[in-house]
Amino acid sequence: MSFSLSKLTGLAVLITPSLATYTLSDEYNSTNFFDKFNFWDTNVNADPTKGFVKYLPRDQAEQAGLISTTGTNAIMRVDNTSYPQDGRASVRVQSNTVYNQGLFLLDLDHMPHGCGTWPAFWMVGPDWPKHGELDIIENVHEASSDLVTLHTDNGCNLAKTGAFTGKPGNTNCAYQPGCGVDAANPNSYGINFNNNGGGVYATEWNSDALSIWFFPRDAIPADISAGAPTLAGWGPPMAQFYKSGCNIDQYFADMQIVFNIDFCGEWAGEANVWGASCSQKAATCEQWVSGTPSAFTAAYWSVRTLKVYTETADVAAHNSTAANPKLAAPNALFVEKPASGPAAEVSSSDP
């Protein structure tokens, strides 16, 4: 199926983002970051994307030096010294807390990039796709532009209403391939993002829409920096999924936050995708990832903070800690396979 990057018609009406009063309700920082997540372990649950990856539990990730903190940042990286035959060691973490609506501000200094990598920052509900999935940061290899994607049950669509700065693609959000928007910003992903000092990804989730902004380090709005976001003056979002096409309250609930760094798999490892991006490195993605550990020194997340704000009257109602937090459903991670040229082909394993 084609993930067209051509503009949809009818995007003339600006849907004004919420100007609700937001109160800080949760914060992930270097003092508490890893205590607020559970860790995927591929010895218990295989990687659903068939990646060339071994996700480690927390104790092993700490021992291997894959997770660490500095005075200001939390770091999640991959192994860059060994020559594995069954997958490179990495991390995938999912929040203990589940969320229902809010404003999520990720202040990020560095994201993984490079041939073979498939990183993602996303949110997913407990029963996929009934409770929805929102991929906020995701792409593969040496891409420079972020892809934002929704996956839902039948009946949710990317509306031909509203205004956002990205390039809309498939409009049917159901299952796979989902619906998506290319950020169309060469600094929103990968090496350019990192070289420019990172920035802030802002996601507003309310009954009207799911709206995503990206602000480079030198253009972060003053209200974000002050810790009192109002959304005034932010301009149109990079991507927006409006209620006229998708009943947000019906299709998204009890979402958990996920960071992961995958390798190869059903997207990055697909022959056409590898061939279009990185075939000069090795014949296959797996050969490159297995045989070139030094290529992955830049494959890490460096998070300053992840702050969650909730409308003032609804703080208690919208955040809760799962009594038994569960990892995402094995088929929850969207598999998106961009082809060469102006379109991106999208496919996945069966849901």
Strand partners, 110: 302
Neighbours of 291 (CB within 10 A): 13
* Residue matched to tokens 């018609």: 9
Sheet holding 336-337, edge to edge: 2-4, 343-346, 336-337
Q: Which amino acid would we find at residue 243? A: K
The stretches of the chain forming alpha helices (DSSP H) are 58-63, 190-195, 222-225, 248-251, 265-268, 271-277, 285-291, 315-318
CB 303 within 8 A of CB 239: no
**DSSP structure class, residue 217:** G
What lies within 8 Å, CB to CB, of 283 at 6+ separation is none
Enter the tokens of residue 213: 């902004």
Q: Tokens 């200001």 appear where? A: 72
* Apex 208 CA angle, 177 and 211, nearest 5: 55
Name the strand (E) or helix (H) holding 201: strand 199-205
Do residues 215 and 200 make contact, with C-beta atoms less than 8 angstroms apart? Answer: yes
Classify 132 in phi/psi space as left (phi over 0), alpha (psi -120 to 50) or beta. Answer: left
* Under 8 Å between Cβ of 99 and 117: no
Q: Are 115 and 273 within 8 A, CB to CB?
A: no
The residues carrying an active-site annotation are 133, 138
The amino acid sitting at 57 is: P
Contacts of 7 (CB under 8 A, 6+ apart): 167, 168
